[in-house]
Amino acid sequence: MKRVVITGAGTINSLGHSVPDTLEAMREGRCGIAELEFRDVERLSIKIGGQVRGFETEGRFNRQQMSLYDRFTQFTLMAAKEAIVQSGIEFHGDLAARSGVVLGTAGGGVSTWDDNYRSVYEDGKNRVHPFVVPKLMNNAAASHVSMDHNLKGPSFTVSTACASSNHAMALAFQMVRSGAAPVMVTGGSESMLCFGGVKAWEGLRVMSKDACRPFSANRNGMVQGEGAGIFVFEEYEHARARGADILCEVVGFAMSSDASDIVMPSKQGAARAMSGALADAKLNADQVGYINAHGTGTAANDKTECAAVADVFGPHADDLMISSTKSMHGHLIGGTGAVELLACIMALRDGVIAPTIGYEEPDPECALDVVPNEAREAKVDVALSNAFAFGGLNAVLALKRA
């Protein structure tokens, strides 16, 4: 089995348009959640979100590209470019033929669906742009990354709701570890912050109208975000031979299915994914210093997740740190695990633990060290990243300091 390292990272989200900007915001505990701005927002009862601001497409993408790139694809391409430039890798010949792209998204081109349904239903038009289908399809982002960077190996998109990008990164990890591919570009993207996207979530009545406060007793729901996180997963010897800067090592993963409820989380399913990732990485529970929680800020997730952590880690649960950066960037749904992986990299590489902001009142059902409100310096050797999706599909990654 090969060792797998991360040699490049890229992102765009409500905290920043690059990895350095995002990590700075996380260190400072800044909140990217604000009033939503888009057409018909006044008809929503939920009016806040972690929206990407100040993102100009002009000068970045030409007219032809814009007719093909939904916002989730635009985010993906920005983040992929940052990651691949940082890794310093260029895909030619055999390397290009064997390297691919696996990305996660839950909704794909949601605003393209939204705009075009509005056009035919509300505006009564009988014609849509010829590229609606290639623009909205869930694999559009992965395909455009493959074209931009000459990646000709295994490429596809995974869709498992809020765990999409963790499932995608777990598959990319497996491919590099098994020797099937020397390099995989992986991560995820989401852009559901449009009228139809938020309206659908409103219906579930689990959204907060004011803030995302994970683990805090007065939490009252989740807040949506948008953006992308993209990484270069590379075989260790390949990275070392070309003198690449290694951000951290990916050492294990596990996936599990609750097989119980379409929306309610399960402690057992979450615990099996975390303990499975430790077993896969051949780690003891007490080696884990930090967990980037799924931490949605809903009543159901946070207490279930804390109970699962207590089950898996026993007394060590009180020693480790667990934070939810969704309090800052919101819940990026299918892209969330990818942006949250950045907090794990920051913990391992920089020794800075991103906080759970908006934390106001302790909840006895979430009695763990949630790194409330302020980032903390700490040396961490191993970090886990949790994602537990609607549908009961869980994926956890284990990372180690390089």
Partner 1 sequence: MSITDRVIAIIAEQAVLEPSDVTPESTLEDLGIDSLGLVESIFAIEEEFDISVPFNANEPQASDFDISNVAAIISGIEKLVSEKV
Q: Which is nearer to partner 1, 214 or 227 (CB)?
A: 214
Residues 325-344 that bind partner 1 (CB under 8 A): none
Q: Does 150 bind partner 1 (CB under 8 A)?
A: no
What b/e string do you get for 323-362 counting C-beta neighbours within 10 Å, with b at 16 or more? bbbbbbbbbbbbbbbbbbbbbbbbbbbeebbbbbbbbeee
From the list 127-135, 181-189, 199-207, 357-365, the region that binds partner 1 by CB under 8 A is 199-207
Q: Does 203 bind partner 1 (CB under 8 A)?
A: yes
The enclosing H or E element of 112 equals helix 110-117
- C-alpha–C-alpha distance, residues 185 and 161, integer Å: 20
From the list 164-172, 203-211, 227-235, 386-394, the region that binds partner 1 by CB under 8 A is 203-211
- C-alpha–C-alpha distance, residues 222 and 22, integer Å: 20
366 is catalytic: no
Q: Does 105 bind partner 1 (CB under 8 A)?
A: no
**Closest separation in Å from C-beta 208 to partner 1:** 7
Ramachandran sector of residue 221 (left: φ over 0; alpha: ψ -120 to 50; beta: rest): left
Catalytic residue among 144, 167, 329, 331: 331
**Closest separation in Å from C-beta 300 to partner 1:** 8
With a CB cutoff of 8 Å and minimum separation 6, the contacts of 338 are 11, 104, 165, 168, 169, 186, 187, 188, 189, 228, 229, 230, 231, 332
**Closest separation in Å from C-beta 203 to partner 1:** 7
Please, are residues 182 and 235 in contact by the beta-carbon 8 Å criterion?
A: yes
294 is catalytic: yes
Q: Does 206 bind partner 1 (CB under 8 A)?
A: yes
Distance linking the first and last C-alpha atoms of the chain: 18
**Closest separation in Å from C-beta 204 to partner 1:** 7
Of 190, 196, 241, 256, the closest CA to residue 52 belongs to 190
Q: Does 41 bind partner 1 (CB under 8 A)?
A: no
Binding mask 262-301 for partner 1 (x = CB under 8 A): xxx---------------------------------xxx-
- C-alpha–C-alpha distance, residues 370 and 363, integer Å: 11
212 is catalytic: no
57 token code pair: 């497409």
From the list 116-124, 161-169, 204-212, 363-371, the region that binds partner 1 by CB under 8 A is 204-212
SS3 178: helix
Binding mask 213-252 for partner 1 (x = CB under 8 A): ------xxx-------------------------------
Please, are residues 152 and 185 in contact by the beta-carbon 8 Å criterion?
A: no
Catalytic residue among 162, 212, 306, 344: 162
Q: Which is nearer to partner 1, 104 or 265 (CB)?
A: 265
**Closest separation in Å from C-beta 341 to partner 1:** 26
Please, are residues 227 and 75 in contact by the beta-carbon 8 Å criterion?
A: yes
**Closest separation in Å from C-beta 220 to partner 1:** 5
**Closest separation in Å from C-beta 46 to partner 1:** 10
Catalytic residue among 144, 149, 167, 294: 294
Of 229, 230, 252, 253, the closest CA to residue 183 belongs to 230
Query: Any idea which residue has 């909140």 for tokens?
Result: 31
Which residue from 208, 256, 304, 323 is in contact with partner 1, where contact means CB under 8 A?
208
The footprint of partner 1 (CB under 8 A) covers 45, 203-209, 219-221, 262-264, 298-300
Q: Which residues are identified as catalytic? A: 162, 294, 331
